[in-house]
Amino acid sequence: MGALFSFLGFTALVAIIAYYATRKTDENTSKGYFLGGRSLTGVVIAGSLLLTNLSTEQIVGLNGSAYQEGILVMAWETLAAIAMVITALFLLPRYLKGGIATVPTFLERRYNKTTKALTSGLFLTGYVVVLLPIVLYSGALAINTMFDIPELLNVSKTSALWISVFSIGIIGSIYAIFGGLKAVAVSDTINAIGLLIGGLLIPYFGFVEIGQGDFTNGVSTLLNSNPEKFNAIGSNESSIPFATIFTGMMLVQLFYWGTNQAIIQRALGAKDLKEGQKGLLLASFIKIIGPLIVVVPGIIAFHIFQGNLPNADEAYPELVTKVLPPSLVGFFAAVLFGAILSSFNSALNSSVTLFGLDIYKEFINKEATEKETVKAGKWFGLFLALLAMFVAPFIANAPDGLFGYLQEVNGCYSIPILTIIVVGYLTKRVPAVAANFAIIFGAVLYILSQFVLKPMVFGSENYPHFLHVMGILFLINIGIMLLIGKLYPQEEAYVQKFTEEVDITPWKYAKPVSVIVVIVVVLSFVYFS
């Protein structure tokens, strides 16, 4: 019961602070609602970025992968730091120069309205079909396990799942739909601090458990007993063969941190370029130590349970139950709840933004006032949230290795969108028809490759890794766009205009800090090879 009270107390504290921090923001304007009034500082951006990214499907999924394969899965975390550096130095200055609220807005200016509509549609499809329901499902599963909700409420596991899904969904919707981006970002920052503390406590208590009360002894015992788990260079049979780092892995990271609306929206809400760059680079530093939270506990669990768990995705919750003192369970569950809410409400807030600005205002009601646009976005968000809540419980038979599966499915829209953004920035005369063809062709080709040819024609054993497939399709897409641009160039060269909405003077330490981040990432791979 004490755990439940500490859980409710911390959750209520976050809500109260978020309310007081946002009560003066004008939520009736697009800038106020969708971009937090362009007032976000570096620390708030960093906290929101990290917590939006870090949720139960990642904490549970990556630790499950580490339980099976060891530290090589850290590539999903550490390489994100390099992608964030590229975003801070290359993409963010261009986004803020154009004063955009959504990535598809840039694509409309660079290409045309059709490109914008196709991209917004792809983003929304990805959020509805994949992200929102899986975040709700994995989150509900974690909460049910930690508090034993079926026994607490005297209901079946299925009923408990529905109750938890709707509880998370309703609370997340209140933040995202009625609070706007600033409420999401502020609550994320508080929860990010809690998650860092709570997340680091798990490996600490895990090492103490292994060392029979001695932390240092626990570390040396784990390293000496499981040397095969500390090799960052994956074999061809592993989930991340080393070569994929140089093909699709880096593309996935660039898409996620540089173009994914749910993520980049935090940086787009920066008060100026300096704060945006500070936020991204601070987050990149913290991302480097991310494996301590999302990889190392999986290896600790492998040592403690001797690899005898029936399902690898049970490794993290089982470890938490075993090593965390009962007095801290409520706090950690509250922090985990915050992480679940963050991923859910961030994707939902981004969906509301995409629909309101890129679809409603553009295609449904062109004369809509800002207040009407925000209202339409909120209603759409409510519909989307309910849809996700009804779909989520049916993912009860989700496949093992959920994290890798999510990355593979996300390729349907990540690679086509990344292609047209890269070509859009690096060229001036590639026409809209090239982008529109590439986004449809890229999505269809990837779906055919991974969900028709791989399982039905060649078989999984004889088919290239999905990250290699992403790299190949990325190059094919770029080649097609450049060819069309050569044959049918745009009459007028594209020139990006400075809207002067925010100051785009770069942070003077951005480049040296970026160099340090890249060096640390490279050294981490060298050390564990």
Instruction: For the chain, give the number of residues.
Output: 529
The pLDDT score that the predictor gives to residue 17 is 62
As given in the structure block, the two tokens for residue 103 are: 């990535």
Q: How far apart are CA 378 and CA 384, in angstroms?
A: 10
Question: pLDDT value at position 44?
Answer: 81
Domain positions in the chain: 2-527
Choose which CATH entry (3.40.50.300, 3.40.50.10440, 1.20.1730.10, 1.10.486.10) describes domain 2-527: 1.20.1730.10
Residue carrying structure tokens 């061809």: 236
DSSP 188-228: HHHHHHHHHHHHHHHHHHHHHHHTTT-HHHHHHHHHHH-GG
Residue 257, pLDDT score: 92
Distance in angstroms (rounded) separating the CA atoms of residues 184 and 174: 10
Residue type for position 161: L
Please report the pLDDT score of residue 176 as a whole number.
58
pLDDT in tens, the chain (529 residues): 555 666 666 666 666 665 565 555 544 444 444 444 566 788 888 877 877 777 777 787 788 889 988 898 898 889 999 999 999 999 999 888 887 777 778 888 899 988 988 888 887 887 777 778 888 887 887 778 777 788 888 888 888 889 988 988 887 777 656 554 455 556 666 666 777 788 889 999 999 999 999 999 999 999 998 888 888 887 777 778 888 888 889 999 999 899 887 688 778 888 889 999 999 999 999 888 889 998 999 999 999 998 788 777 778 878 888 888 877 877 777 777 777 777 777 777 777 777 887 788 777 887 877 778 777 877 888 888 888 888 888 766 555 455 666 777 888 888 999 999 999 988 999 999 999 999 999 999 999 998 888 888 887 778 888 899 999 999 999 999 999 999 999 988 888 888 777 888 999 999 999 999 999 999 998 888 7
**Coil vs helix vs strand at 465:** coil
pLDDT for 36: 46
The whole-number pLDDT of residue 527 equals 86
Rounded Cα–Cα distance for residues 85 and 284 (Å): 7
Residue type at position 384 = L
